[in-house]
Amino acid sequence: MSTKLQPVRGTHDILPGESARRRHIAENWQRIAALYGFGEIQTPVFEMSEVFHRTLGDTSDVVTKETYTFADRGGESVTLRPEFTASVVRAFISAGLTQDLPQKFFYHGPAFRYERPQKGRLRQFHQVGVELLGAAEPEADVEVIALAVQGLKALGLEKKVRLELSTLGDAESRKAYRAALVDYFTRHGGKLSEESKIRLEKNPLRILDSKDPQDKEVVKNAPPMEQFLTTGAVKFFTEVNAGLGRLDIKVTPNPHLVRGLDYYNHTVFEFVADDGLGAQNTVLAGGRYDGLVEQMGGPAVPGVGWAAGVERMLALMEESAFPAEAKPVAVVPVGERAEGACWELAKALREAGIAADVAYKGDVSKRLKRANKIGAAFAVMLGEEEMKTHSVALKNLSTGEQKTILLASLIGTLKH
């Protein structure tokens, strides 16, 4: 007994209509990224496992539970990319770009995590994002956030999300904050989930990012990071806020905001939707990661960037945000003798940049029904009489109006 083949759980097929929408989103971001000087980079969908397992942190959920890691036929451990930043940094080092700074990268494509599928969370999902490497100044943080704001606005999403902002401080700030969190969470250890008890030993900041309801109750009263910031960290964050203010970018402070990966420091931010996405309501998120390049074997090069979820943007976008699809022209032969001429006409239309469709069979009535079904704007009908007079019958399928025009003027008429 044969079984019906289905997509793997947590994945789905992207059919032509949805594909066009996704392409619109990617092209929108690519266009705006280019305005800021970001060029497109494409990295492989899988990397040596060390690229991710060494950089994302031993206690991050991504590494402990979610990576697709396997041995290839040569015995090498490889991992499907669960995120892009580590891949982009690896490429930055591999290509020898560390002496030519700053470098600005834009990317888009699929990523993979073994998670429980739910709304806004798939096992194969898609992201767009940017990485700015080689700029230690707070202005770099402001620039990538401004890029994000402009891109979300172009997609009609600026009023559906809010920008939450925080800081993780510098290394000294984090050390002091870590000690405070260990003290606080140890005193409330009995109320923590089993997973967060493990995090308490390895990285207590990870508890702040927990989605477990019982952890959230404990986190509510945890000491805020701002109490432990050094003078330098305060100055940096103040300048980021001032820069955003100059650009009229509204900010919602969130002192408990922690990005889910271990390589972040200083500025962290999320664009969050209040409605439409359920629990997975972060649309775009990122921050600064000054130690990552060095951690991956390169020199000490600062970095800042963000990634946005394509599926989550799709779920929030209004129909009116997408451009209308171009309607094709249906070429309809009237009689068998016109079949060949219609295929030649379709070729000429396509070469002129006009989408054309020729049904493979059926009489005029059936072919016109197909034309309406595919949403054609016009039907161009060609029979023996038209072939003799070098003309065609052009029918407007929305109004029903029909007229005969010279074949030589058809392309100009359709383009007009």
* Mean pLDDT computed over 6-23: 93
What 3-state class would DSSP assign to 95?
coil
CB 368, CB 332: distance < 8 Å: yes
Handedness of CA 407, 408, 413, 416 (dihedral sign): positive
pLDDT band at 345, cuts 50/70/90?
Answer: very high
The residue among 131 and 218 whose pLDDT is bigger is 131
The 10s digit of each residue's pLDDT in 34-57 is 999 999 999 999 999 999 887 665
Q: What is the pLDDT of residue 57?
A: 56
Highest mean pLDDT among 111-120, 253-262, 382-391: 382-391
Q: Is the pLDDT of residue 60 over 60?
A: no
Q: Is the pLDDT of residue 390 over 90?
A: yes
- Which domains can be identified in the chain, with CATH numbers? 16-170+230-321 (3.30.930.10), 329-415 (3.40.50.800)
Q: What is the pLDDT of residue 375?
A: 93
Q: What is the pLDDT of residue 33?
A: 98
Q: Is the pLDDT of residue 237 over 90?
A: yes
* Mean pLDDT computed over 137-149: 98
As beta bridge partners, residue 133 has 103, 303
CB 286, CB 306: distance < 8 Å: yes
Average pLDDT score, the chain: 91
CB 132, CB 140: distance < 8 Å: yes
pLDDT band at 413, cuts 50/70/90?
Answer: very high
The 10s digit of each residue's pLDDT in 186-203 is 998 888 888 888 888 877
Q: Which of 322, 26, 321, 288 is nearest to 159 (CA)?
A: 321
Residue 110 and residue 410: Cα distance in Å, rounded? Answer: 43
Q: Is the pLDDT of residue 316 over 90?
A: yes
Distances (CA, A) of 162 to 6, 52, 74, 249, 319: 37, 30, 47, 10, 21
Q: What is the pLDDT of residue 301?
A: 96
pLDDT band at 416, cuts 50/70/90?
Answer: confident
Residues in the chain: 416
What 3-state class would DSSP assign to 59?
coil
Q: How far is CA 252 from the centre of its chain?
A: 23
pLDDT band at 324, cuts 50/70/90?
Answer: confident
**CB count, 10 Å around CB of 385?**
13
Q: Which of 389, 361, 338, 190 is nearest to 405 (CA)?
A: 389
Handedness of CA 79, 81, 84, 88 (dihedral sign): positive
Q: What is the pLDDT of residue 281?
A: 87
Residue 128 and residue 334: Cα distance in Å, rounded? Answer: 48
Q: Is the pLDDT of residue 384 over 60?
A: yes
Residue 357 and residue 371: Cα distance in Å, rounded? Answer: 8
pLDDT band at 174, cuts 50/70/90?
Answer: confident
Structure tokens at 56: 């994302």
What percentage of the chain carries pLDDT values higher than 90? 72
* Mean pLDDT computed over 3-24: 92
Q: What is the pLDDT of residue 299?
A: 96
**Residue 99 half-sphere exposure toward CB, CA atoms < 13 A:** 2
* Mean pLDDT computed over 390-408: 95
Handedness of CA 129, 135, 138, 143 (dihedral sign): negative
Structure tokens at 186: 């140890």
CB 182, CB 204: distance < 8 Å: yes
User: β-pairing, 329-334 with 356-357?
Assistant: parallel
* Mean pLDDT computed over 81-98: 96
- At which residue do the structure tokens 């002129």 appear? 352
**121-130, 207-216, 378-387: least confident range:** 207-216
pLDDT band at 319, cuts 50/70/90?
Answer: confident
What percentage of the chain carries pLDDT values higher than 70? 95
What 3-state class would DSSP assign to 61?
helix
Q: What is the pLDDT of residue 226?
A: 87
The 10s digit of each residue's pLDDT in 241-269 is 999 999 999 999 988 787 656 678 899 99
Q: What is the pLDDT of residue 143?
A: 98
